[in-house]
Amino acid sequence: MSNTDSIPDYQQFINESTSRISHFERLINRYSLARLAAVLLCGPLVYYTVKYEMVILTELSILLMMLVFTLLVKKQSGYTREKEFYIALQQVSQNELTIMAGGKTIYPQGEEWQDDKHPYTSDLDIYGTKSLFALVNRCATLPGNRLLASWLSAPAEVGEIEKRQEFIRELTALPRWKLNLQAQLLFAAESKADVPAQLMQYLSQSAAVRSGFLRTYIRRVPWVIATLLAGSFFSAYLLVPVLLLIGINACLVLANQLMINKAQRMTQKAGDALYHYSGAFKMIERKAWSSEMGKALALAADTKSEVSLSLRVKKLSRLLNYLETGGMSLVGPVLNLVSAWNLRQYLAIEDWKQENNPYLESAFVTLATFEAILSLVSLRTNYPQWCFPTVYDHADYTLEIKDAGHPLIPSAVRVTNDFTLTETRKIDIITGSNMAGKSTFLRTLGINGVLAFCGAPVCASYMQITPVQLFTYMRIKDSLNESTSTFKAELDRLQLLLTTLAQGTRVYFLVDEMLRGTNSADKYLGSRAIIEQLIRQQAVGIVATHDLQIAQLEKAYPGYIRNFYFDIRVEHGEMLFDYKIKNGECKTFNASLLLKQLGIEVENT
């Protein structure tokens, strides 16, 4: 089964979305014309009722026009939302094809989590452009991105890994549901605002307490004013209490304006976002999950009442949009004078806070977890030939992998290798020529380890591994800002490794050419001393080097050191690489040949 098997499914989703977009565009255009027709038809009616001084008919005509116009706008808005959903579905489906073809994702690529001092993320290209995060990420929300980043930055417990693997298998069978949820949340990828955090900050504040009389007044005053206005047709004196109530409404809104403004600032544009979130919660509520993790997440989002979480969130969305409407320049003043609109919505939001605050935080955590899991599901869907690793606890170290490839290298040019370390402790020395594949092999083991420890499939046909803290020493950089030379940066990295080992952490290290910032004699002596120190600490890992003398350590420590190598073949002056790891020491090197291609002759001494 190849990754091309999922391409027809994505193409079908794209075609269906295109058809639905065209359908809703036609409906939107029809309702736009219907709105125009309503105005054109009702306009003359209003004109003639005014002309012939039929006051009641005039007001009824205006009311009818407003009612029809509002209904048409509401219906058109619904179709617009449907169109936007299918545009998003088209985008997320196309994004899968783009990523599989090696293109740029529409989701964040994790640049903000790049950290040269992390044990492995910088050396293994976990974050940033063309990174593992860019390949995996399908999180649109900031909480989802943060959660996925945390999964890739630290290994999970074995039990948690197994739960994620089970849930991934369940979700892999629901490709349309997965894309629908991604489409529902795609709006968040285009926004820099952290709406969940923004809302939780607001909702964590104490709810405002207002008297029962005020609440009763706010509920009834619009109906009282409407009744008085209707009665004013028969007695103009009834306009006096109308004006009085309008004045009271204005005073109430102005008296509470500071609190209302604060609520508007803290929930700015959250109404539309919550509409999308409510749709996502509804999708989660409607599924009956069989996996342990799926059931636990559904339970965390369960309000244990007749009113579901999605309906509660949708209600808050509606209230926030109403509050925003009260701030509009044309509509707002009328609404506030007639019904103390802003205060009415503010009190309704405060009531919502008291009733629903306990549910919302765990709900957003649930949604972030779904996003992170769906990111890992994408690997299973797009690369079905990848396998789920077996991760198990053992006193010693296991790293067995077959057909291991680097997931960021296109499959057409990817070369795979096998490697075996079974319930033991060894330091493996890898020697080889320049460009023969040593560094890529180390990164292949490391990045597949990162995938294994977050519960994802790995780029291999088989993998078995014990939990470890990965630690890499590869891209050592100097720093002018920190006045750090390359050699000093190497020493700092080595110190961090030794300190981590001394703390009792189960480390598996991947070292690529240590002490490159010093002369060859010191480099050999220093490298030998470091490896011997690692042996004394019973450390486990791999050291890749060009220094053949390091390979001789196998003779001094035959029970702890193993030798592997990558080599080249030279045919008719051309270097041929197979990028395959082999047992033993490297005998062929290519620096002289590479220099000769530059026109530099190297004398043999």
pLDDT score of 480: 45
Range with the largest mean pLDDT of 29-33, 66-70, 270-274, 505-509: 505-509
* Dihedral of the alpha carbons of 350, 355, 356, 357, in degrees to the nearest 10: 70
Q: Report the pLDDT value the prediction gives residue 324, as an integer from 0 to 100.
A: 85
Neighbours of 87 (CB within 10 A): 16
The pLDDT tens digits of the residues spanning 172-218 come to 999 999 999 999 999 998 877 778 888 888 877 766 666 788 888 98
Check residues 520 and 492 and name the one with the higher pLDDT: 492
Our CA angle for 96, 97, 102, nearest 5°, is 100
| Most confident range, picked from 28-37, 88-97, 200-209, 292-301 | 88-97
CB atoms closer than 10 angstroms to residue 204: 10
Cα 492 from Cα 579, distance rounded (Å): 31
376 sits in which H/E element: helix 341-382
**Type of residue numbered 4:** T
273 with 191: CB under 8 angstroms?
yes
Q: Is the pLDDT of residue 77 over 80?
A: yes
Q: What is the pTM of this model?
A: 0.89
- Tokens standing for 150? 């945390």
**CA angle, 582 then 585 then 560, to 5°:** 90
- Reported as a pLDDT band with limits 50, 70 and 90, residue 271 is confident
- Mean pLDDT value of segment 534-556: 93
**Mean pLDDT rounded to a whole number for the chain:** 87
Average pLDDT over residues 80-93: 95
Direct distance between the N- and C-terminal alpha carbons of the chain, in angstroms, rounded to an integer: 54
Q: Read off the pLDDT of residues 328-380 as tens digits, 9 standing for 90 and up.
A: 777 788 888 888 989 999 888 888 888 887 778 888 999 999 999 999 999 99
Ramachandran region of residue 133, left (φ > 0), alpha (ψ -120 to 50) or beta?
alpha
Residue 325 scores a pLDDT above 50: yes
Residue 555 exposed, middle or buried by CB count within 10 Å (0-12, 13-18, 19+) = exposed
Q: Sorting pLDDT into bands at 50, 70 and 90, what band is 1?
A: very low
Structure confidence at residue 604 as a pLDDT band (50, 70, 90): low
Q: Which letter does DSSP use for residue 145 in this model? A: H
pLDDT over 70 percentage in the chain: 91
- Cα–Cα distance for residue pair 437/324, rounded to 1 Å: 59
What lies within 8 Å, CB to CB, of 504 at 6+ separation is none
For 385-413, the pLDDT digits (tens) are 999 999 999 999 999 999 999 999 999 99
Number of residues that make up the chain? 605
User: Which fold is adopted by the domain 390-597?
Assistant: Rossmann fold (3.40.50)
What pLDDT shows up at residue 278?
Answer: 92
Mean pLDDT of 426-436: 88
List phi, psi (to 5°) of 110.
80, 20
In the chain, % of residues over pLDDT 90: 54
pLDDT of the residue at 483: 45
Query: How confident is residue 282, by pLDDT bands cut at 50, 70 and 90?
Result: very high
Q: Give a three-class secondary structure readout of 449-495.
A: HHHHHCCCCECCCEEEECCCEEEEECCCCCECCCCECHHHHHHHHHH
| Residue 469 predicted with pLDDT over 90 | yes
Q: What mean pLDDT is predicted for residues 274-292?
A: 92
What the block records as the tokens of 418 is 């096998």
The residue-averaged pLDDT of 43-68 equals 70
Q: How far apart are CA 477 and CA 497, in angstroms?
A: 16
- Environment class of residue 303 by beta-carbon count within 10 Å: exposed (0-12), middle (13-18) or buried (19+)? middle
31-35, 82-86, 531-535, 560-564 — which is least confidently predicted?
A: 31-35
Two structure tokens written together for 239: 């306009």
Q: Which residues contact 417 (CB under 8 A, 6 or more apart)?
A: 403, 404, 441, 444, 579, 580, 581
Q: Residue 226 in contact with residue 355, Cβ under 8 Å?
A: no
* β-strand partners of 401: 419, 463
Q: Which residues neighbour 541 within 8 Å (Cβ) at sequence distance 6 or greater?
A: 427, 428, 471, 507, 508, 509, 510, 511, 534
Distance CA 17, CA 85 (A): 9
